[in-house]
Amino acid sequence: MQEIRKECNDVFLKDIYNPNITKSYTLTEFKQLQNASTSQVSYYLKETWVNKIKDIVKTHFAEDPLQTQLMGRPWYSLNETSKESYEMGKLKKFLQQTKYVMQDTL
């Protein structure tokens, strides 16, 4: 969760609009500048940020076959196929918490 919060804090510090305006622009130029800035941030959020969060979850919850053998069923199984097990498991709660942290960041 610490790595996810770090990524969210990085996104929180990003500017949606371009605040670094050093000269006068016409209205059309200003709109183009701001649209380019929002498009860039939007692309980052949809592609890079989401993929970073996915990679963090996959990395930390990848199943270790030895651990599964020793402890039986893992608590945070990404390969869970039973809907009932997923609904009652800890992974669902963790992913919901992650979703709320991401929503709060935005």
Let me know if residue 38 belongs to a domain: yes
Domain that holds residue 81: 2-12+26-105
Domain membership flag for residue 39: yes
**Burial classification of residue 96, based on how many CB atoms lie within 10 Å of its CB (0-12 exposed, 13-18 middle, 19 or more buried):** exposed
Report long-range pairs for 24-33 (Cβ below 8 Å, ≥24 apart).
Answer: none
Q: How many domains does the chain have?
A: 1
Digit-coded pLDDT (tens) for 61-88? 876 555 554 455 566 778 777 888 888 8
Return the higher-pLDDT residue of 90 and 104: 104
**Is 18 part of a structural domain of the chain?**
no
Residue 20: inside a domain: no
Does the global pTM surpass 0.85? no
* pLDDT exceeds cutoff 70 at 52: yes
Asked if the structure places residue 47 within a domain, the reply is yes
pLDDT in tens, 3-48: 999 999 999 998 888 888 888 999 999 999 999 999 999 999 999 9
Please indicate, yes or no, if residue 68 is contained in any of the structural domains: yes
Residue 17 domain flag:
no
